[in-house]
Amino acid sequence: MQVTFHFDPGCPWTWLTSRWLLRAAETEDVQVVFAPFSLAHINRDREIPEEHRGHVDAGRSALRVVQRLIDDDDQAAVARLYDEWGTLLHRDGGTPSLDLVRAATQAAGLADDVAAAVDDPSFDAAIAAATDGASDAAGRDVGSPVLRWDEGGTSVAVFGPIIDELPDVEGSADLWRGVRSLARHGELKELKRGRVGDPKLEGS
């Protein structure tokens, strides 16, 4: 089963969800396909709090490279870039910046012309379109990440799941089965716990 993972690279909660889904895919019938979700675009008409601005701005730059790789039909390179970026920023506690995006592109072994997309706003329209498509499918009040897949001929889209710690392989598979089961119920709109504290990113 193909699951499209719409993500903003600057979001630490999204990073944990991505690690969960990839871990679930080790034992479940899941093929992860990455696609953009821009928090900068979603919040374009809002004032972004100063403590989040660095992550949002860096995420926008990283998504330009992601979009370039998607245009090149290179999902493997998207996964490598996100691995390196997430390790530098989220797991190792780096400072979100254009320099960190460039460091991630180098660590992922991307060609210079691909890495140059960080400064290229021509990719922004495609990123915005992908973001709007994901939020239209999952609901306009959602954020990153959005998961989309086909369930028996019906298109399913959900925000989340938001987790604060990475489950083991068995727990990841169990959580995926639960998410999939709940998502079959179109009448279900929200099931939520409040977040307490920051995500536990060590070892992610």
Amino acid 38: pLDDT: 96
Q: Is the link from the previous residue into 12 a cis peptide, with omega within 30 of 0?
A: no
Preceding peptide of 161 cis, ω within 30°: yes
Residue 111 phi, psi dihedral angles, 5° rounding? -65, 155
User: What's residue 200's pLDDT?
Assistant: 85
Measured CA to CA, the distance from residue 119 to residue 61 in angstroms comes to 7
Report pLDDT digits (tens) over 122-147. Answer: 999 999 999 999 999 998 889 999 99
Residues 6+ apart with CB under 8 A from 5: 17, 18, 21, 32, 33, 34, 35, 145, 147
On the question of pLDDT at 182 being above 80, the answer is yes
Reported as a pLDDT band with limits 50, 70 and 90, residue 197 is: confident
- 42-83 pLDDT, tens digit per residue, is 987 777 667 667 788 898 999 999 999 999 999 999 999 999
Instruction: Give CA–CA dist 73/114, Å, rounded.
Output: 13
Q: What percentage of the chain has pLDDT greater than the value 70?
A: 98
Q: Within 10 A of 78 (CB to CB), how many other CB atoms are there? A: 24
Q: What is the pLDDT of residue 203?
A: 73
Q: How many CB atoms lie within 10 A of CB 118?
A: 20
CATH level 3 topology of 2-183 = Glutaredoxin (3.40.30)
